[in-house]
Amino acid sequence: SEAIVDGLYMPKLPVACRALVKADALVPEVMAASILAKTARDRMMERYGWIYPEYGYEQHKGYPTKLHRERILQYGPSPIQRKSFSIGPEQIHFEF
């Protein structure tokens, strides 16, 4: 048995591992894991919305939406803000 990782890079795991680009579209188990991970992350971001209501996390879940970018420009990066994210050809970097 082996772990299948979606993407190009393999983490160090205590089991055999295989990286597969687009595994979340090709392997049913990875599809299911991706849905569960996204759901868990979205719920976590909704909770951060209670802690940092000015950022609107309950609406955009931390994804680089117009609202998210506007709130970052208005309030600066939150303590949980990723240091960079890509919006198509645009890349936003924060120094903190």
Domain ranges across the chain: 1-51, 53-96
Q: What is this structure's pTM?
A: 0.74
Tell me how far the alpha carbon of residue 22 is from its chain's centroid: 16
Among residues 34, 32, 33, 7, which one has the least CA distance to residue 18? Answer: 7
Token pair, residue 95, equals 């120094």
Q: What's residue 83's pLDDT?
A: 74
Cα angle value 82/83/86 (rounded, 5°): 80
Give the whole-angstrom CA distance, residue 3 versus residue 6.
Answer: 10
| Side chain identity at residue 28, one-letter code | P
DSSP 25: H
pLDDT tens digit string along 11-58? 899 999 999 999 999 999 999 999 999 999 999 999 999 999 999 999
pLDDT band at 90 (very low <50, low <70, confident <90, very high): low
